[in-house]
A and B are shown apart, each in its own frame.
Chain A
Amino acid sequence: MDRRLPPADGEWIDRDAPLSFRFEGETYRGFRGDVVASALWAEGVRLLGRSFKYHRPRSLLSLAGHDANVMLADGLRTNLRGDTLPLAAGMDLTAVNTFGSLAHDWMNITETFSRMMPVGFYYKAFHTPEWLFPFHERQMRKVAGLGEISPEAEAAATPKDYAFCDLLVVGAGPAGLSAAIAAAETGLDVLLVDDQPRPGGSLQWAWRSNEAAYEKFQQLLARAELLPNLKIRSGTQAAGWYPDHWVALVDAQRMTKLRARAIVVATGCFDLPAVFQNNDLPGVMLASAAARLMHCYRVRPLQRAVVLTANRAGYQTALDLMAAGTQLAAVVDLRAEGETGAVLTELYKQNVPVLRGHGIYEAVPTFNKQAVKAAVVCPLDAEGQLQTEHTRRFACDGVVIGVGYSANVAIAAQAGVRFRFDETIQQLVPRELPAGVFVAGRANGRFELDAQLADGTRAGLAAASHLGSHTGEIAAVPPHAGEAPSHPFPIFAHPGKKNFVDQDEDLHLADFANAHKEGYDSIQLMKRYATVGMGPSQGKLANDLAVRILARLNGASINETGTTTSRPFYQPVPMSHLAGRRFHPQRRTPLHQWHVAQDAEMFYAGAWQRPEYYRREGTSREDCILSEAENVRQRVGMIDVSTLGKLQIRGPDAARFLEAIYTGNFANQQVGRLRYGVACDETGVVIEDGIVARLAENFFYVSATSGGAAAFYREMQRWALLLGHNVTLHNATGQLAAMNLAGPRSREVLAPHTDQDLSGEAFPYLGVREAQVAGVPALLIRVGFVGELGYEIHVPATAAHHVWTTLFEAGTPHGIRPFGVEAQRMLRLEKGHLIVSHDTDALTNPYEADLAWAIGRRKEFFVGSRSLQIVRQQPSTRKLVGLEFAPAAAERLPEECHLIVEDGEIVGRITSIAKPSTLGYPIAMAFLRPELTSVGRQVHVRLDDGSLVPAQVVAMPFYDPENLRQREEELVAT
């Protein structure tokens, strides 16, 4: 039987593009422009999905993504919404969450036990005996969920884009179109979006059979066409509204982040479902779904239908159905008075029974329970209750429900619109609008087409007026007059308990009464206990029913009952759309390629990449590191330290400022000399350290840790303001590169390539000089974190490679080798130098870190000074000390952060360890209780396996305590 209707203007399908696809193993055909559900429906397939809990047969209900009855998988993609998924050739679709097959889903057995599974049943069972719960849980996890995710699923990188407009109009129905046109005609840059594939909204289905309406629709499109400043994006949902009119627009390809200056919400309404027994059977559908089938996809919805209605629009649907070749078994009107006028006359003419003041008691299933065979209709009493002793049965293959609407408030509510329930139209309408947010059309309670159009124009002009492009009067649009378009309570009890309120969650009417009886009597508690609105469609159809039910149960008004909070997203958004292309910014030093070419093992230090060590053929990582370190001790090595923060402080108050930032004294520092600087935060915790070089009376150059530089610079800037010091700060971290040439032969390597006299007299230890290195202006700093004669060479980043390679070539006869961060850590540990945030933690003060010597005496103020006065009076709880291990312990050594335990109590923690070291035995730095820190004291470190390894407290530095290696010549000179 051909269910497709003859071609008509404005249909969405392209009959010249037939498509073949598979569903549950069978091959079907449809057209481009179909959604999967419309194509299957046209092919006579009624059973399209199974419900979440009872695995009841389900099918199309809204045909617009307002329900989640048809959830499909196609290869590795899953949870596809069949009622909005555009049909594509070659699709191989199956329904998700079926056991066996869609047609024979044995999990439907749960329905048999449904009486045992009332609302919240799982809170009341399975938890005793406790040992059985994991078993129950495993069973529950087997049946939970919908689609199955495949580990093979493609990792999509979906680009995002950005857009800007003056006015965003959401919803391209009659109100949205006219709002967008009115605003664009004032000159505004307007973007109109709609989640449906074509603009027009209800003009394409609800109003489609009205020729005058269709003509107005075409005129609107023509007017829109003439406006170059009006862009229309169909197939694009406004997924979420965020502060400052930042809106996520989502289409099949991407997410667009839009910044608008104002927004008109013309999102219309969802159809309000009716609740009766078996209202979820395939064949029971909303009026808008029937209209979409007929007018957009040109499919005859049913062969013989019962129309359940409570408004004039339902009669129009009935007439449309007849025009589409559907026989009408009956029109059942919940209203006692029913409808009058032409629509009624027309139905009578066709001998359609019209039952006023009646409702549907149940849809009667076919033998296989997968379709409708009849509807049972009863009269309603004065209270709106079905009088079940008077039943009439109408054979039919489906029920079309058009009993009213619920406003689609999602985006408006997110944008801050507050709603109230208007009893005269039985619908939410805006009560309070924030600045720059406007609501129009059915979402604003306007239902006649002319009123919708006029309301759109009003909202468009109001937005234009808000944005300054329109002045003058704006005609108000009178509120809806006459009968409410929506029925107050199209909800009917049935002992069979298959009268569903929330089809996502298989919640039926009695579940609500039961939850209420237990005390879950507010909308929020009801939502959470019964899980109404928590399914994949997020309650688009269920929420308004739930509020109506709860209001009745509480004997309260809808306004007193309230609503739940609208949250993004309007429709689900794939993670790939949100994630975008996932850029990961990386920082590389100018020498990066050189390191890579030298087979460096690179690691991430925050955003930076640094050489951990340089690999050598046939040598273990540990041996590579040790030999790099030994080469520094014995010959000469070079390390890239460009990641160090490099900050410049200039101005008359520069010295004064640094005295405030660091714990030490700098006012009396000589030009051309270095000092070590320690910085604390206001609580007295050590946060930074580095060198402070005085380049001129009013010019200092300081280093900061790689990870902390940006924050330290930022805080320095703030302190400069707070203290009112006359200084100028500059962060030169990225502009400059730095390398440290270290080892006994470093002077020999450098000397031929610099104009600086490197003799101890001309350039002593802790000196700083501006000089040429390899023909490049450089800052030479005589300091050595690693404890050997050494030079830190700071040069412009662009010259780094030249200087580095020049020195490296010069060093080759001297046995130069690059060394990585690991060797540097070993060497500095041997020298007893701590690394802030490695050897210190978020509460370490300078006294604990053995840095008291770095605190300047007689200083009035530095950041943290007053706090340290307080801290200093308190008993100390830990101190950073050196530990050494017997060389024989090599096989059983702790890792960093293993604990030191004495008498079953934690007394300390290893902060750094060098297992092999150039000293020939393992050493470590550790926090230890002060009473245990006497040199020679033995302590025990607990390993992973719980065993203890002894270590001895030793004085630091471990290596060259006299510092002879670095300042030998000065000592010789004196």
Chain B
Amino acid sequence: MPHRLLKFALSPDYPESRMFRAPSRLGDRYDVVIIGGGGHGLAAAYYLARDYGITNVAVLEKDYIGAGGTGRNTAIVRSNYLTPEGAAFYQTSLELFQDLSRDLDYNLFYSERGHFTLAHSPASLRTQRWRAEVNKHLGIDSRVVAPGFIKECVPELDLSCGGQQAPIYGALYHPPGAIARHDAVAWAYARGADERGVEIHQNVSVTDIDVRDGQVAGVQTDQGYIATNKVLSAVAGWTTSITEMVDLRTPLVIYPLQALVSEPLKPFLNHIVVSASLHLYVSQSSRGELVGGASLDPYELISMRSTLDFAEGLAGHMLDLFPCWSQVNVVRQWGGLCDMTPDFSPIMGTTPIEGFYIDAGWGTWGFKATPVSGLTMAHTVATDADHPLIRPFNLQRFSDFQLVGEKGAASVGH
């Protein structure tokens, strides 16, 4: 029993102080205003304060911190991306994650489980090899494995998928693939930013952005006007409502993404299992719940409603792979929003509007990018120049016909 816990036992009063300061009044002027109190926005605030000494920063969150994608995703971290640009970016994120609990002094339950992306066809297997080879080139631990190895690691898996459809030919195996406690990432960054002087304002909605002569001048909120010359939009699924305020055209379209969770079961599934063909990803949380998700909903919608189609489809695919889960009870399903780009890569960095920075296009892969997005966006906001890691992801690439090839052959990953 770590002795840190003894203080709880020995203190007559609860010995913990506030993680973040109680809400104060919104100020009149900030050096930087960050719209969106999710993982990305809070991480950017943390690194702005820590690395650049910029602390006169307000994070504006229209709901509660972590209310959006941060608290709705299935908390998978991996770096086995297809393009060198993507892989390098996510590898930096993964490395930051590995050290993040210590850095933020908060146990994020970062747990390396090993990540399988199953291939149900030779074509899919060759795409996995492509990823593996690019990953290896960048020093990322990633390889193509045979069905026997998968079965050894995940004995419950039915490699024949019930025999009525394509079997499993192999997988991309990525040992550093991990899961983490998603909410805690937001809280820990919030605490770190707050300790350094950043103000976090929950329940504040941005209603307009004041742009004068192509330069940001301020932000209008439902609680008053704030003067600022730098605004970072880090609102993922709500980005289109922010970019509309500054008349910025983007390729973003919003799709719902859903997930579900089972009752707690004694932990048995030690790995993260993903099947693009079956539109499924699943892992078992530290509480013993099976947490699973599927591909995007089939049409655009800016709403987090649930659909039965999703639950039916995902349960069906789970049983294709894990027939012994038939009696496992699903207790809850939920939804989140994904801001999708045409090339499955984010949109990050400077924009044609001076002082307006964007961190968007997070699609289904935003959580795993939390630390690196914070780090690189902090750099970008502080220096007014795109961090090298995110240069390929600038919004300008669409006007230049310079898309990132993350879409690969056609496969979708999570």
Contacts and interface: CB of A to CB of B under 8 A. Distances in A.
Contact of B16 (A141, A518, A580): A518
Contact of B107 (A127, A146, A153): A127
Interface in A888-921: 895-899, 901, 906, 909
Interface in A832-856: 837-838, 841-843
A897 B102 CA distance: 39
Contact of B326 (A572, A576, A603): A576
Contacts of B166: 603-604
Interface in A463-519: 510, 513-514, 517-519
Contacts, number: 298
Nearest to A577: B315
A897 B130 contact: yes
The size bracket of the interface on B is 35 or more
B65 A579 contact: no
Given A121-B5, A842-B409, A128 B102 contact: yes
A140 interface: yes
A316 to B, nearest CB: 34
B187 interface: yes
Nearest to B164: A584
Contacts of A522: 64, 202
B332 A127 contact: no
A574 B133 contact: no
Given A145-B265, A514-B16, A579-B318, A122 B107 contact: yes
A579 B407 contact: no
A127 B108 contact: yes
B183 A529 contact: yes
Interface stretch (B49-57, B205-213, B306-314, B369-377): B306-314
Nearest to A513: B14
B39 to A, nearest CB: 13
Interface string A200-224: 0000000000000000000000000
B276 interface: no
Nearest to A155: B323
A525 B134 CA distance: 40
A857 interface: no
Interface string A936-968: 000000101010000000000000000000000
Interface in A526-567: 528-529, 535-536, 538, 565, 567
Contacts of A517: 14, 16, 18
A257 B308 CA distance: 9
A709 B184 CA distance: 46
Contacts of B108: 123, 127
B64 A575 contact: no
B61 to A, nearest CB: 11
B126 A895 contact: yes
B183 to A, nearest CB: 5
B333 A124 contact: no
Contacts of B187: 123, 529
A457 interface: no
A69 interface: no
A192 B8 CA distance: 52
Contacts of A603: 121-122, 166
B319 A579 contact: yes
B298 interface: no
A528 B66 contact: yes
A36 to B, nearest CB: 16
B183 A576 contact: no
Given A146-B266, A517-B18, A580-B316, A898 B308 contact: no
A519 B21 CA distance: 7
A518 to B, nearest CB: 5
Contacts of A152: 324
Contact of B264 (A52, A150, A513, A582): A52
Contact of B20 (A77, A79, A519): A519
Contacts of A899: 133-134, 137
Contacts of B312: 578-580
Interface string B328-371: 11111110000000110000000000000000000000000000
B130 A536 contact: no
A425 to B, nearest CB: 28
Interface residues of A, number: 104
A576 B6 contact: no
Given A127-B107, A898-B129, A899-B134, A569 B331 contact: yes
A128 B315 CA distance: 38
Contact of A901 (B84, B101, B112, B137): B137
A886 interface: no
Interface string B126-140: 110110011011000
Contacts of A76: 327
Given A525-B64, A842-B408, A842-B409, A514 B286 contact: no
Contacts of B307: 242-243
A719 interface: no
Contacts of B162: 155, 582, 584
B243 to A, nearest CB: 21
Contact of B405 (A78, A569, A584, A841): A841
A154 interface: yes
A519 B193 CA distance: 14
Contact of A155 (B14, B165, B288, B324): B324
A937 to B, nearest CB: 21
A356 B186 CA distance: 48
Nearest to B131: A897
B403 A843 contact: yes
B315 A126 contact: no
Contacts of B164: 582, 584, 586
Contacts of B181: 123
Given A124-B107, A513-B14, A525-B64, A146 B84 contact: no
B181 to A, nearest CB: 8
B327 A574 contact: yes
B8 A121 contact: yes
A315 B330 CA distance: 38
Contacts of A164: none
Contact of A148 (B6, B266, B333): B266
Interface string B79-106: 0000010000000000000010110011
A909 B9 CA distance: 60
A144 B287 contact: yes
A149 B401 contact: no
Interface string B56-77: 0000000111110001000000
15 contacts: A115-B9, A117-B8, A118-B8, A133-B107, A141-B286, A147-B263, A147-B265, A148-B265, A246-B308, A414-B306, A529-B183, A538-B332, A842-B407, A867-B401, A897-B126
Given A576-B327, A684-B401, 17 more contacts: A78-B327, A122-B107, A130-B99, A134-B112, A149-B266, A151-B155, A240-B308, A517-B18, A524-B64, A535-B264, A569-B332, A573-B330, A576-B326, A578-B314, A578-B315, A870-B401, A895-B126
Q: Which 5 A-B pairs have the closest CB atoms?
A: A145-B288, A155-B323, A572-B329, A578-B315, A127-B107
Interface of B: 1-2, 4-6, 8-9, 14, 16-22, 63-67, 71, 84, 99, 101-102, 105-112, 120-123, 126-127, 129-130, 133-134, 136-137, 143-144, 155-156, 162, 164-166, 181, 183-184, 187-188, 202, 262-268, 286-288, 305-308, 311-312, 314-316, 318-320, 323-334, 342-343, 401-403, 405, 407-410
